Amino acid sequence: MTSKVTYTGDLRTTCEHLRSGAEFVTDAPTDNNGLGQAFSPTDTIATGLASCMLTVMGIKARDMGIDLAGSTANVAKYMDSNPRRISKIEVELSLRGVQEQKQRTILERTAETCPVHYSLHPDIEKVITFNWDLEKE
């Protein structure tokens, strides 16, 4: 097993990663009867896309002798109703330490082939922006 999710009441869950014991909480969003005091389950999906993209880029970058430490992603998630679902995810990546266009292209293609990207329903619009103008600090 990968994780254990416990419903704690009041539209909230506690999610435990069984191997490490790491935990996080989810809360229903305010537009769906919740308090919005933590990630919603759909927030974790959108955030998971950005995290997966940065992770596989990090693996590829390391193989290329590049350090992406300090790179970030801003995520926006949009919902539709009837049925209630994620309709669009925007990920804006701000990346450090890559000067050559060929390396950037390789890393962009790597990001767009991450497992989460492939796992999302094709009806979910994915808008990915790569900003390469950040120098390594």
Residue by residue, DSSP assigns 36-68 as: --SB-HHHHHHHHHHHHHHHHHHHHHHHTT---
**Is the per-residue pLDDT at 91 higher than 90?**
yes
CA angle 119, 2, 87 (to 5 degrees): 30
Q: Identify the pLDDT of residue 99.
A: 87
pTM of the model: 0.93
**Residue 65 has which token pair?**
């002798």
Return d(Cα 70, Cα 107) in angstroms, integer.
Answer: 16
Give the pLDDT of residue 32.
92
What's the CA gap between 58 and 66, in Å, rounded?
Answer: 8
